[in-house]
Amino acid sequence: MVKAGTIHAIGAGILICEIQQNSNCTYRMYDYDRRDKFGNKRELHVDKALDVVDTKRYVPYESSINAYDEATNEAAATIEEDSSEGQLLVSCKYFECYKYDISDSVSINVDTAYFRSVIFTEGCGTIRVGEDVKAYKVGDSFYITAGNKTVEIEGNCVAIVTKV
């Protein structure tokens, strides 16, 4: 997890799963001389980036992170997904992300309050919602609308499931 305002770089061969609050704001300090669709170097935003950079020492995520309670503006009890196989990665007032290391199958309940985003970062198999079954592979992404239903994931994979 990279917090907003943290200077970071993305090198060749890196797979990124970016989940964020709706925002189109990215300030580039350096861009490896990449070019846009017209062959021009992409714009840099060094001054703007320096204005918003977070200079505090980075503290890595710890698995004991608690959920955010929007009503009280404070941390709440840790939220568990319906399966014991899901590991809470991050929780904020906008979304919760879970990592599932699946070696056979997992069922994830979806309620009427939140939709789910499922992104596969490793492996392959099938994902089923009701009668709808789709094959997946690394890099595939699925959105499951809110409603009383169950998502069945089968295969050997790693999935990032976001509750929005």
Enumerate the active-site residues. 28
Residues whose CB falls within 8 Å of the CB of residue 122, separated by 6 or more in sequence, listed in order: 138, 157, 158
Residue 60 per-residue DSSP state: -
Burial-class residue 152 by CB neighbours within 10 Å (0-12, 13-18, 19+): middle
> Which value, in Å, is the radius of gyration of the alpha carbons in the chain?
18
The CA distance from 151 to 133, in Å, is: 10
Amino acid sitting at position 14: I
Strand intervals (E) in 11-131: 68-69, 74-75, 86-91, 96-102, 105-110, 116-129
Residue with tokens 């846009």: 36
Residue 85 per-residue DSSP state: T
